[in-house]
A = this chain, B = another copy of it.
Amino acid sequence: MKASADIGIVPLGAGVSLSAYVAACERVLAEAGLRPRLHAYGTNVEGDWDAVFAAVRRCHETVHEMGAPRILTVIKVGTRTDRDQTNEDKIASVEKKLATDVR
């Protein structure tokens, strides 16, 4: 089953700056071939369901190894049976409406 997801990892008990942890997870997601696209509150990914969640698990393992004793990750995951749609397609679909609609 194909999945599209948004992954926002939040290390706790690891200080106020989270960017090193987020970058480490970003590398994990890229190495898994999930086409990560970073934004300010998470990372859009897409791929096989099991590959996505195996990568999220590796993110937790990696960030714990870096010293964070506690991690909270917020995941949005989407699946659909009616048609194929990439994350890029989703964004393009909204942007097309923004460009052409007149209120």
Contact = CB atoms under 8 A, between A and B. Distances in A.
Contacts of A74: 74-76
B23 A61 contact: no
Interface residues of A, number: 59
Main secondary structure of the interface of A (DSSP, over half): mixed
A18 B70 CA distance: 11
Contacts of A97: 19-20, 22-23
Contacts of A42: 6, 41, 76
7 contacts: A4-B40, A16-B69, A38-B94, A38-B95, A50-B57, A72-B76, A75-B77
Nearest to A57: B49
Interface string A28-41: 00000000011111
3 nearest interchain CB pairs? A13-B16, A6-B41, A40-B87
